Structure 1
Amino acid sequence: MFLDFYKLRDQPFGVTPDPRYLYFSPGHREALASMFYGIETGRGFLSLVAEPGMGKTTLLFQLLQRWKGYVHSAFLFQTQCDSRELIRYLLDDLGIENKGEDIVRMHSELNEFLFRETKVGRRVVVFIDEAQNLSDAVLETVRLLSDFEAPDKKLLQIILAGQPALAQRLARPSLVQLRQRIAVQARLDPLPFDETVRYVQHRLKVAGYQGPELFTREALELIAKRSRGIPRLINNLCFNALSLGCAMRMRQIDAGVAKEAAEDLSTGFEVAGPAVSQQGAAPPVARNARSSRKSLYSRVRENFRRRHLLQTTIFLVAIGSLGIFLGTRIRPATAQPSAVLPVDSASSVPARGLEPRSEQQARSVSSGVLSPKAPQTRAGESSIRTFTYVIQPTDTLQDLCMSMVGRYDSKVLSEIRRLNPNLKDLDHLHVGQEIQLPMSWAK
């Protein structure tokens, strides 16, 4: 998922109405303020009209959050219903027990509930989402709910939220009485380009993004155009663009990636070009578009293949290195015949007072610090078997050579230097340091 790749804490372009991600464009702020004022002053009916995906539900939740603790609310989504079902849904959401009585009895129970809430100082607010789906008969039932009132105030506040079709429905002559009762009419318009940019940046910031601009200006222009400024479509385009960008390992989303995301979502992106000839040949521009599309997908597939090959190679190298390491550090040494290298026997006399070679080598083998190495060949010489030794607290190079190699002279030191090119000072060995030593030579 692209969250780790782009260092995001949350999903910035989700599909749920999360109030944290609500972007207050000038239109959203105005609509929220209008409805808040309408509830505060007890205006009765309010309406909120917007295109699908403009954030009506999120805005209503935000409004409800601001009145939390001061209102008793009901949120109705089931708008494909008749009048009886609507009243029953309302009673259930308000917590009023009902046994499916006739509609007159349910109205009476609702009226009693509203008076009780008013006496304790709580407003009752009903949110009806997707209200454009209500039939004329049900809308008339909703209008009758406004008759619940005291001499000085309305007992019930109703907010009708819906798509532009709701405004068209309310404009019908048959619903003139309901339309006249709507005191506040709020509307959410699509976001212009500048607000689209701020919207995307706002959501990325809430999600924890702290890097450079994630979308180029050209990409944002294309997203604004293809989404028509509708936040839900902006979210879908940005989500697909980030997914594609992550697959291509692109740290910044450019216009090409945004264009591909728009085509994938079929948001009306069309490539202009000449008409198709009578032979049915594809227009050159359309062919180029398909070629570009195919090329982009090919880049994604090639990227995945390269990543897979790289990961496989690293894994195999790691396994091989681990095997070599365990073989050299854990596997006990085995006695093997030593290769013979011509040396000067006169310089190979052991120093006095040193422990015999066989005893100290046996102790080193039993302590697990001696590990044989594969034979190594030196130009002009016979192959020499080596082993890895881990320096112990009381070790000196002379003692090691005498006890394990059998001699300590210039040729032995020269061979040790060749086997340990990184060992700069033979007189200063450190505890825990690994050193390569030749196995015993013939004297």
Structure 2
Amino acid sequence: MFLDFFGLREQPFGVTPDPRYLYLGPAHREALASLYYGIEANRGFLSLIARPGMGKTTLLFHLLAKFDHTARTAFLFQTQCSSREFMRFLLAEIGIESESQDFVKMHEQFNRCLVQEARAGKRFIVVIDEAQNLDASVLETVRLLSDFETPQAKLLQIILVGQPGLADKLATPALVQLRQRITSVSGLSPLTREETCRFMDHRLQVAGHKGARLFSPEAQELIAQVSEGIPRQINNYCFHALSLACAMRKKIVDAAMVREVTHDLDIHRFVSEVGSSAHRHAGLNGNGNGNGNGNGIGDPFHPVEELPGVVGEYVSSAPVADNAAK
């Protein structure tokens, strides 16, 4: 490990969604504000849609921490399931072991829990990650959960989170009732070159770095370019660049090291001739954005447009683009 070599307390470019490392550029800050105010206003259904690797889960963990003492929360990842399985996962997430397989009885159990939390003065927040994987029938089950309410307020706040394929599903006529209930749709856009540099610096600071810069300006510029501003890819390039610098006993990562790492991580070096031909064909005959997969998600080297966020202001303890770097 390079931690001792660079004077770091912990891994600055890890793969877990640690909220301490959240960097709020303008798009992330706006999305966080929209979700926060949506929950505060008891708006019911909210949505966050962005391409893979944009930091959706990290942002949501940070958001839920804001409601630690005022809400009961459930975070669901298992989205390739039936409606019955979905309800079982939901009950298990909130600590209720359902002995019954009966769908109606599971609904009743969940409703009792909602009422109990409401009487205690707490909100109930359910986050459904990777929601683009949910079948239309399960999304209809999710919609029906929003019927749990009193004349004065919604008993349940639901955040649907997913990749652009979720927007494709929600736009279908079959899900018009669910779509009409979604009161806020937020998106995340890639970091700019300047934001990428701040993102890197912030993560190093959180990890305990002090002193001279570990990345040359040219190295940071190149990482911003090859990562296309996607946080997960920035972390990956930075991790491998620091590992290479440590192996070479160099205290500063330069552009040559980043170029070597970029070459080493290029999966296209190993694509077969058949796979390469299919990839080119999909790019030419796909859904009009060059990625050819029909769900609005490109590979790491072919970005697509993001949904715009909803305007909002939110003062957070996490660093923002104006005063911190990550």
Q: Given the two structures, how large is their TM-score scaled by the length of structure 2?
A: 0.80
State the match for 1:215 in structure 2: 215
Higher relative contact order (CA 8 A, sep 6+): 2
Instruction: Tell whether the 8 Å contact from 1:226 to 1:267 is kept in structure 2 after alignment.
Output: no
Backbone CA RMSD of aligned residues: 1.3
Instruction: Tell whether the 8 Å contact from 2:72 to 2:125 is kept in structure 1 after alignment.
Output: yes
Structure 2 distance, partners of 1:47, 1:141, is 16
Question: Partner letter of residue 89 of structure 2?
Answer: Y
State the match for 1:367 in structure 2: none
Which string of whole-angstrom CA distances, capped at 9 and with x for unpartnered residues, describes residues 254-278 of structure 1?
1100011111111669xxxxxxxxx
State the match for 2:90 in structure 1: 90
Which string of whole-angstrom CA distances, capped at 9 and with x for unpartnered residues, describes residues 341-391 of structure 1?
xxxxxxxxxxxxxxxxxxxxxxxxxxxxxxxxxxxxxxxxxxxxxxxxxxx
Instruction: Tell whether the 8 Å contact from 2:83 to 2:137 is kept in structure 1 after alignment.
Output: yes
Question: Partner letter of residue 224 of structure 1?
Answer: A
Structure 1 distance, partners of 2:119, 2:205, is 44
Q: Look up the SS of the partner of 1:114 in the other structure.
A: helix
Instruction: Tell whether the 8 Å contact from 2:219 to 2:253 is kept in structure 1 after alignment.
Output: yes
Change (3 A) 1:65 1:201: same
**What 5-or-longer segments of structure 1 have no aligned partner?**
270-443
Give the C-alpha shift of residue 241 in structure 1: 0.5
Give the C-alpha shift of residue 50 in structure 1: 1.4
Give the C-alpha shift of residue 100 in structure 1: 2.4
Instruction: Tell whether the 8 Å contact from 2:84 to 2:101 is kept in structure 1 after alignment.
Output: no
State the match for 1:230 in structure 2: 230
State the match for 1:192 in structure 2: 192
Structure 1 distance, partners of 2:39, 2:8, is 38
Structure 1 distance, partners of 2:95, 2:249, is 52
Which string of whole-angstrom CA distances, capped at 9 and with x for unpartnered residues, describes residues 201-227 of structure 1?
001111111122211121111111111
Instruction: Tell whether the 8 Å contact from 1:227 to 1:267 is kept in structure 2 after alignment.
Output: no
Instruction: Tell whether the 8 Å contact from 2:91 to 2:98 is kept in structure 1 after alignment.
Output: yes
Question: Partner letter of residue 121 of structure 2?
Answer: G
Q: Look up the SS of the partner of 1:89 in the other structure.
A: helix
Structure 2 distance, partners of 1:60, 1:253, is 32
State the match for 2:257 in structure 1: 257
State the match for 2:72 in structure 1: 72
Structure 2 distance, partners of 1:89, 1:263, is 41
Question: Partner letter of residue 198 of structure 2?
Answer: R
- Count of residue pairs the alignment pairs up: 269
Structure 2 distance, partners of 1:238, 1:256, is 13
Instruction: Tell whether the 8 Å contact from 2:128 to 2:158 is kept in structure 1 after alignment.
Output: yes
Which string of whole-angstrom CA distances, capped at 9 and with x for unpartnered residues, describes residues 384-422 of structure 1?
xxxxxxxxxxxxxxxxxxxxxxxxxxxxxxxxxxxxxxx
Which string of whole-angstrom CA distances, capped at 9 and with x for unpartnered residues, describes residues 275-320 of structure 1?
xxxxxxxxxxxxxxxxxxxxxxxxxxxxxxxxxxxxxxxxxxxxxx
Runs (4+) of structure 1 moved beyond 3 Å?
none
Give the C-alpha shift of residue 177 in structure 1: 1.1
Question: Partner letter of residue 16 of structure 1?
Answer: T
Question: Partner letter of residue 102 of structure 1?
Answer: D
Structure 2 distance, partners of 1:246, 1:118, is 54
Instruction: Tell whether the 8 Å contact from 2:245 to 2:251 is kept in structure 1 after alignment.
Output: yes
Structure 2 distance, partners of 1:7, 1:245, is 14
The within-5 A match list for 1:119-158 is 119-158=119-158
Which string of whole-angstrom CA distances, capped at 9 and with x for unpartnered residues, describes residues 132-171 of structure 1?
1101111111111111111111111100111111112111
The within-5 A match list for 1:416-427 is none
Instruction: Tell whether the 8 Å contact from 2:77 to 2:129 is kept in structure 1 after alignment.
Output: yes
Structure 2 distance, partners of 1:28, 1:4, is 32
